[in-house]
Amino acid sequence: MNEPLYCCTTASPVGELTLVASDAGLRAVLWPGDADRVPLGGEPAPAPGHPVLVAATEQLAAYFDGRRQHFDLPLDLDGTEFQLSVWHALADIPFGDTSTYGEQATAIGRPTAVRAVGAANGRNPVSIVLPCHRIIGKDGSLTGFAGGLDAKRFLLELEAGRSSSPSPR
């Protein structure tokens, strides 16, 4: 039997996000159309009052309002050991900074695993919270992002204090 999962939606400047949690922590931040990209391990039940979802909603709102630079949420991530190492390394990229796939691969002790790091980032179930939007190409270009490149650009500009558009969508 799968553990119970709970969900709620929250409005944001990058569109409506669906948050999914277990009793152990945040499981996913889903963009529209993300249901197939992030395996959840069960069908979440609507529960906007669940404590993890309430905390995630409040912290995301504070992030978008410029009042929060780091997330302090329990996470309940489901991935391989390699994926988990990649996802946790995202939390080490400072607010307002960027890194490359190569730098991230080196940071986790796997300097030749650049493509695998890119693939793992593409499967990050809690984007924004674990900031895969801070990963860019080694030439400085914006690379793939679950929310789309406009959302990625918006998040990077928000963190750089340059965001003037209320919505990239």
Among this protein's residues, is 7 annotated catalytic? Answer: no
Query: Comparing C-alpha atoms, which of 119, 114, 153 is closest to residue 133?
Result: 153
77/75 Cα distance (integer angstroms): 6
The tokens for 42 are 């069960």
Q: Do residues 144 and 122 lie in contact, with contact meaning Cβ atoms separated by under 8 Å? A: yes
What's the helix, strand, coil split of the chain in %, to 5? 30, 15, 55
Which one is catalytic: 132, 136, 155, 156? 132
Q: Do residues 44 and 7 lie in contact, with contact meaning Cβ atoms separated by under 8 Å? A: yes
Active site residues: 132
